[in-house]
Structure 1
Amino acid sequence: MMGNGVYWGPIAETLRDHVRISAPDLPGHGQSPDWDGGTPDYHTFTTRTVAALIDRPLDLIGHSMGATVALRIAVAAPEAVRSLTLIEPVLFAAAPDAHNDALMAEVEAKLKAGEDAEAARAFLACWGGLDWDAQTPAGRARLARQIHLVHASNEALRHDAANILRPDGLEAIDAPVLIIMGEESPPVIPAIADALAARMPDVGRARVPGASHMLPITHPRQVAELIALNLERA
């Protein structure tokens, strides 16, 4: 979310002897077309777009919202998944958090006031790991547009509108699962990991020292090595 598939380049290079990685840009990101804001909702539209690329059991790897998309596919079609690696999954409905609720309320209020840039800045201060002031004007404008997509994912992530947490859903995933977190990530992330792991039959957890939410970019070697361990388990 608010990035593009190019960021997976270093991880793909490290894993080139294990798998070939396809990293599609989310709708409204990179070179993908925009989401029209209609039906289906953003999370559903994204999930269907990714699911259409699956023609055999695959190793699904997702970061942040992408991890919730991968998890949604795994719950709906466990036979399509050979292994599942979830990096910082932001399925907030699994572990409601007052701090994150307050942040998203602040983002929503700023968007309603037409303060898109300030909404993006507030969100990224917690979840982005970047220096807003160091961004180019074009970069800040892009992030200000894309913060609307963050808001559009709220129903799925905070209220589980996609019903990912339905009874017997997580329990049906029989592929090896690995949840990777940054040691310095917001406390809601390990809480989500605990809630998900408690319901999965074959799951491991790992924390990367010195890393926070954007660890696929900041710590690609460590993340790639952990992904490789899960690939080997599959």
Structure 2
Amino acid sequence: MYTCLHTSQSATVAVRHLDYHVHRWGAPAAGAQPPLVLLHGWMDVGASWQFVVDAFSDAFLARRAIVAPDWRGFGRTPRPAGTDCYHFVDYLADLDQLLDQVAGGQPVDLVGHSMGGNVAMMYAGARPERIRRLVNLEGFGMPASTPQSVPGRLAQWMDGINQCERGALDLKDYDSADAVAQRLIKTNPRLAPDKARWLARQWAREGEDGRWRILGDAAHKIPSALPYRVDEAQALYAAITAPVLAVHASDDSLGRWYQGKYTLEQYLQRLTAVRDVRTAVVQDAGHMLHHDQPRAVAALIERFVQGEPPGA
């Protein structure tokens, strides 16, 4: 079993009528640096950042508070009452109130992975004054939607709600935490067994019947009703005033997912809308690069938020 070097403290904060669960690390002294806020991806949890936090230097940890929330309907943050689907803009509003709680009016250093990276980019465009520096780990956005796709997209969304209500989208349960760990390794063969066993106990919970269930609401599987408009995304990118570090893994996640419908080259072209952006690649890593190479990811974050070049 993986042994944490820096154990997180659990807390809940009031965010939009929800008890938002957050992990906290660090006990900064006077004169601390801005808080570092870590945003997890789809079907993940805030505890997923543990390996990166453990790879930060002691000096870095001593100077700042680190906070990683569980998004609504993930981990230990409940689903809102009456929810039958999720809308992306809610994550932005959740983050806005979360920052009120953990940072007050102080700008933060923001890191997001995958879905969390997309939230971070859009939020930084809508609230540029609240972000000091931003690190986006594989938050690529989506392929461009066309007007012709809207009828089918709306039909998929309604079908998804109906399927979810019938239980057709329910997540698989497991007979043990070790079985959950094996599921994590199947999805990501680079994940070390000791980390998988530790993460399984953060990613799932044992029920009274002895079955282990993933801490994610099945309604997250329902496709969005809204088209993805690249021009709107780039307008938000252009409004970001913070320096941005966009990091992708050496494995081509976009190529595997979209089979040419959306490519890494197109994503990098979209990033040119950001006024102050640099990029970095983490070698020998896939989409879960913060699990595959936590030391490399931690070093990139640490150097960047301290104003050093990513390759220094």
TM-score (ref. length: structure 1)? 0.73
Find the aligned partners of 2:111 and 2:93 in 1 and give their Cα distance.
16
- Of 87, 93, 96, the residue aligned with 1:42 is 87
Q: Which structure has more RCO (C-alpha within 8 Å, separation ≥ 6)? A: 1
Indicate the residue corresponding to 1:229 in structure 2.
303
Deviation at 1:44, TM superposition (A): 1.9
Letter of the structure 2 residue corresponding to residue 181 of structure 1:
H
- Of 85, 92, 107, the residue aligned with 2:142 is 92
* Count of aligned pairs: 212
- Of 198, 209, 220, the residue aligned with 1:149 is 220
Q: 1:19 to 1:200 in 2, by over 3 A?
A: same
8 Å contact from structure 1 (residues 173, 200) kept in 2: yes
Percent identity (aligned):
25
Q: Which has the larger radius of gyration?
A: 2
Letter of the structure 2 residue corresponding to residue 165 of structure 1:
A
TM-score (ref. length: structure 2)? 0.56
The reply on whether 1:81 has 2:81 as its aligned counterpart is no
Unaligned runs of 5+ in 1: 97-104, 119-123
Deviation at 1:221, TM superposition (A): 0.9
The reply on whether 1:172 has 2:239 as its aligned counterpart is yes
8 Å contact from structure 1 (residues 85, 179) kept in 2: yes
* Cα-to-partner distance string for 1:70-128 (whole Å, 9 max, x where unaligned): 112101011111011100104114699xxxxxxxx8xx6xx57925448xxxxx99xx5
Indicate the residue corresponding to 2:283 in structure 1.
209
| SS of residue in 1 equivalent to 2:69 | coil
Q: 1:41 to 1:6 in 2, by over 3 A?
A: closer
Indicate the residue corresponding to 1:160 in structure 2.
228
Indicate the residue corresponding to 1:129 in structure 2.
188
Q: Counting strand residues as a fraction of each chain, which structure ranks higher?
A: 2
Find the aligned partners of 2:129 and 2:107 in 1 and give their Cα distance.
7
- Of 35, 47, 51, the residue aligned with 1:6 is 47
- Of 246, 249, 266, the residue aligned with 1:182 is 249
* Cα-to-partner distance string for 1:120-148 (whole Å, 9 max, x where unaligned): xxxx99xx5369xx9789687427x5453
Letter of the structure 2 residue corresponding to residue 35 of structure 1:
P
The reply on whether 1:69 has 2:110 as its aligned counterpart is no
Mean Cα deviation higher: 86-95 or 70-79: 86-95
Deviation at 1:17, TM superposition (A): 4.2
Deviation at 1:39, TM superposition (A): 9.4
Find the aligned partners of 1:5 and 1:19 in 2 and give their Cα distance.
18
Unaligned runs of 5+ in 2: 1-41, 147-155, 173-182, 192-196, 256-261
Q: 1:160 to 1:31 in 2, by over 3 A?
A: same
Find the aligned partners of 1:161 and 1:140 in 2 and give their Cα distance.
38
Find the aligned partners of 1:78 and 1:95 in 2 and give their Cα distance.
26
* Cα-to-partner distance string for 1:166-215 (whole Å, 9 max, x where unaligned): 53x31221211011111113225624541332111111111111100111
| SS of residue in 1 equivalent to 2:304 | helix
> How big is the alpha-carbon RMSD for the aligned residues of Structure 1 and Structure 2?
3.8
8 Å contact from structure 1 (residues 8, 23) kept in 2: yes
Indicate the residue corresponding to 1:121 in structure 2.
none
Letter of the structure 2 residue corresponding to residue 23 of structure 1:
A
Q: Counting helix residues as a fraction of each chain, which structure ranks higher?
A: 1
Indicate the residue corresponding to 1:100 in structure 2.
none
Find the aligned partners of 1:37 and 1:195 in 2 and give their Cα distance.
40
